[in-house]
Amino acid sequence: MFPFSVKSVLHVLALTLLLAPSGVFSSLASPVLAGPIGKNCTIGSIHNGTATGRNISIAGVSTYLAEPPAAHIGKDKAKKVILFFSDVFGAFAINNELLQDYFATQGYTVLGPDYFFGDPIGLHVSPDLEPFDPNFDLNAWVAKSKKQADAAVPAWIDGVKKRYGPKAKYTAVGYCFGAPYSMETSATDQVLAGAFAHPGLLTEDHFRKLKKPFLLSCAESDSSFPLESRRRAEDILAEDHATYHVQIFSGTTHGFAVRGNLTNENERWAKEESARSVIGWFDRFTD
């Protein structure tokens, strides 16, 4: 095992390699704004509750589906669909299931692809964040997962659009590992609005290329998206006259919107307010 400082250097190297070789968003010239997946992306509380969604397959990807209560489904109303790009624990981890279920109660059909293909990080890292498996190589897992997810997401989005049709109103939200997908989707006409919370794996280009209204739900102290990066992102959005909203929660750290400690009043409020804000933002552009 490397001491953590050496590991961090390796993470930065891994991120450089991850963001460098492929895709439209890989411009080598674009500085990194949200850092690599590290230990802070894997810590936090596990929530208790009973998930009410189901497991369906879209474009060969197992997908968590949470549907709104009947009262929300008016005959003449266009369906509202959230593409839910999860953190490293995956769309089928209980915290993410409960979050998707909440979005569904607010009138949205929510779809979370398992872009880890049955190998979420929870299989390797315990809730208190010590590796179960001493041989677990986080960087290798991230590199593998990013490659798989990059390859799967475009066809998955096409599959979602086939299933719900051109009249449905699509939005996208991403947490940590999922943030690039919400931003990349929001750089196209595939959605009406986007959002992220405590992002990872982003460069300045992600902000420059944004086309759709975007909500940034941020921790005060975020090792992946530190203050300087957040301010740089704000500068870019303002310069480009983007439509955006930035919210910051005091006393929170990376992961708060998914893995906050719900017995801590501040963390509970921040987690719930972040989710409410995502819905408020999406309602604004889909109602």
Ligand X SMILES: *[C@@H]1O[C@H](CO)[C@@H](O)[C@H](O)[C@H]1NC(C)=O
Residues labelled catalytic: 176, 222, 254
Alpha helices, DSSP H only, in 80-135?
94-105
The residue assigned the tokens 């961090």 is 8
Which 8-state DSSP code applies to residue 209? T
The residue type of 109 is: T
Tallying the residues shown for the chain, one arrives at: 287
Can you tell me whether residue 5 is helix, strand or coil? Answer: helix
Tell the smallest beta-carbon distance from residue 101 to ligand X (Å). Answer: 15
Rounded least distance, CB 270 to ligand X, Å: 13
Choice between 3 and 134, CB closer to ligand X: 3
3-class DSSP state of 22: coil
Q: Considering beta carbons, is residue 39 or 163 the nearer one to ligand X?
A: 39
Q: Hey, what are 35's tokens?
A: 């850092």
The single residue among 264, 268, 273, 284 that binds ligand X, judged by CB under 6 A, is 264
* Touching ligand X, residues 208-237 (CB under 6 A): 221, 223
Using CA atoms, how far apart are residues 14 and 221, in angstroms rounded to an integer?
Answer: 23
By C-beta, is 32 or 242 nearer to ligand X? 32
List, in sequence order, every residue forming a beta bridge with 273; answer none if it has no partner. none
Is position 263 an interface residue for ligand X (rule: CB under 6 A)?
yes
- Strand 61-66 relative to strand 54-58: parallel, antiparallel, unpaired? antiparallel
Binding segment (CB under 6 A) for ligand X, from list 17-25, 144-152, 239-247, 260-268: 260-268
Which CB sits closer to ligand X, 64 or 196? 64
From residue 220, alpha-carbon distances to 225, 238, 242, 247, 251 in Å are 10, 20, 22, 10, 6
> Shortest gap between Cβ of 90 and ligand X (angstroms)?
8
Which member of 50, 71, 74, 118 binds ligand X (CB under 6 A)?
118
For the segment 237-256, give every residue that binds ligand X (CB under 6 A).
Answer: 253
Query: Judged by CB, which is closer to ligand X: 156, or 214?
Result: 156
Out of 84, 92, 170, 256, the residue judged to bind ligand X by CB under 6 A: 92
Residue 252, CA distances (Å) to 147, 154, 179, 180 in order: 30, 33, 18, 21
Q: In the complex, what is the shortest distance from the CB of residue 7 to ligand X, in angstroms, rounded to a whole number?
A: 8
In sequence order, which residues have a C-beta less than 8 Å from that of residue 185 and are 6 or more positions away? 83, 157, 172, 191, 194
Name residues contacting ligand X, limited to 27-46 (CB under 6 A): 38-40, 45
User: Using the rule CB under 6 A, which residue among 1, 3, 28, 48 binds ligand X?
Assistant: 48
**In the 8-state DSSP scheme, what is residue 72?**
G
Where along the sequence are the contacts to ligand X (CB under 6 A)?
4, 8, 38-40, 45, 48, 55, 62, 92, 118, 221, 223, 253, 261-264
